[in-house]
């Protein structure tokens, strides 16, 4: 399976994503933000960083990059797209995911390990996650507070589009375990077709034991499983 | 001619920056501060001879699509000489 990893000016987790995917035994390559095609991509990762210096709003400029038109097309055709950190912000700005990410409630940049509860395990981004497994994955952001209006939040809940929530080590989604003030402790969501997802924590920084946690692999492995399943379905 | 655009966080959106500025004002002894909202100000220089009505229409669209994020922000657009 081949992952296309986008690269914007001031992306800084692009190489981490390329590496994480290769560690899992799959291929990956960078796609420059001015490119208008994604090449032979089976999935797309929009990586973390500070694209375009976070000018105006995080992700606001990146969403107009030529490559984002290709990503939109890819997503419309059902392709798997994962946005991590700044990538999540870009996907929200692009309208591929609902809501927005705003300043952390304490105005601090948070660079720390957090725990995540997988709120819906029946998706292409979560299916490989063991039941009741609390994921330990780092965050590193200043604008990760998820906001959406009440009707949107209700729709996210009703459709089970909330994939990951900040929790404590036991899996309880408490306010104390919420690092940034996100509504409903939301760390990551999917669109209503479940082929586009975004999250603030960095699975790319937690896919090898040497990095302190390999829990991020479950997210990439879920995507691989979903892609394999789709291939089988297409062949049949 | 200039376009002046003021962007503020929506009332329902948490505005920690506004809250902290409010706290600071209160600590400094300024009385009667009921709320502070920190936003952005954008000034756009328009080419000489630009039609004000057409500029307003175009910039209104730009504010909605790009300069503000309607999910979290409100904006006020003013065209001034």
Residue (of A222, A185, A225, A218) closest to A204 by Cα position:
A218
Residues above pLDDT 70, as percent of chain A? 98
Rounded mean pLDDT, A23-33: 96
CB contact under 8 A, B72 and A147: yes
Q: Is A181 at the interface with chain B, CB within 8 A? A: yes
Strands of A85-216 (E only): list them.
100-102, 110-118, 135-141, 145-147, 162-167, 186-190, 196-199
**Residue of A215, A205, A128, A124 lying closest to A169 (CA atoms):** A215
Quick one: tokens of A132? 């009741």
Provide the CATH topology of domain B2-80.
Mth169; Chain: A , (3.30.1280)
Q: What are the extents of the domains in chain B?
A: 2-80
Task: Identify which of A156, A134, A121, A123 has the alpha carbon closest to the alpha carbon of residue A201.
Answer: A134
- How far away is chain B from the Cα of A235, in angstroms, using its nearest Cα? 41
pLDDT confidence tier of residue A234, bands split at 50, 70 and 90: low
- The count of other CB atoms within 10 Å of the CB of residue A73 is 13
Domain boundaries, chain A: 2-235
Q: Which of A56, A100, A104 shows the shortest C-beta gap to B71?
A: A100
β-strands B73-80, A135-141: how paired? unpaired
Backbone angles phi, psi at A76, to 5 degrees: -60, -35
CA A102 – CA A163 distance, rounded (Å): 19
Nearest Cα of chain B lies from the Cα of A109 at a distance, in angstroms, of 13
**Which tens digit of pLDDT belongs to each residue from B4-52?**
999 999 988 989 999 999 999 999 999 999 999 999 999 999 999 999 9
Cα Rg of chain B, angstroms: 16
- In CATH terms, is domain A2-235 a member of 3.40.50.2300? no
pLDDT of B48-69, one tens digit each?
Answer: 999 999 999 999 999 999 999 9
pLDDT in tens, A132-143: 999 999 999 999
Enumerate the residues of chain A whose CB falls inside 8 A of the CB of residue B72.
Answer: 100, 102, 147
User: CB under 8 Å, gap of 24 or more: what pairs does A151-157 form?
Assistant: A152/A98, A152/A99, A153/A183, A153/A184, A155/A98, A155/A192, A156/A98, A156/A99, A156/A184, A156/A186, A156/A189, A157/A184
């Amino acid at each position: 399976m081949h992952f296309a990893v986008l690269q914007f000016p001031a992306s800084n987790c692009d190489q981490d994503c390329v590496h994480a995917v290769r560690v899992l035994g799959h291929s990956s390559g960078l796609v420059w933000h001015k490119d208008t095609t994604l090449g032979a991509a089976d999935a797309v990762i929009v990586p973390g960083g500070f694209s375009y210096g976070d000018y105006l709003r995080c992700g606001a400029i990146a969403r107009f990059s030529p490559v984002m038109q290709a990503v939109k097309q890819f997503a419309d055709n059902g392709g798997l797209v994962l946005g991590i950190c700044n990538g999540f912000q870009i996907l929200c700005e692009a309208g591929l995911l609902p809501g927005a990410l705003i300043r952390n409630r304490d105005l601090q940049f948070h660079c720390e390990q957090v725990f995540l509860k997988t709120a819906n395990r029946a998706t292409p981004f979560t299916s490989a996650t063991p039941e009741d497994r609390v994921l330990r994955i780092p965050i590193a952001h200043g604008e990760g507070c998820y906001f959406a209006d009440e009707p949107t939040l209700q729709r996210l809940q009703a459709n089970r589009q909330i994939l990951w929530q900040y929790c404590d080590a036991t899996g309880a989604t408490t306010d104390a375990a919420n690092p940034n003030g996100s509504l409903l402790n939301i760390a990551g969501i999917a669109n209503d077709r479940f082929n586009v997802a975004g999250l603030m924590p960095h699975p790319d920084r937690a896919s090898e034991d040497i990095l302190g946690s390999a829990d991020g692999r479950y997210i990439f492995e879920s995507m691989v499983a979903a892609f394999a399943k789709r291939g089988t379905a297409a062949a049949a | 001619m200039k376009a002046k655009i003021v962007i503020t966080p929506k009332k329902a959106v948490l505005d920690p920056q506004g809250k902290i500025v409010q706290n600071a004002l209160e600590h400094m002894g300024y009385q009667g501060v009921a709320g502070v909202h920190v936003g952005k100000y954008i000034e756009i220089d328009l080419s000489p001879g630009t039609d004000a009505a057409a500029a307003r229409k175009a910039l209104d669209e730009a504010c909605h699509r790009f300069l503000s994020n309607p999910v979290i922000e409100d904006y006020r657009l003013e065209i001034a000489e």
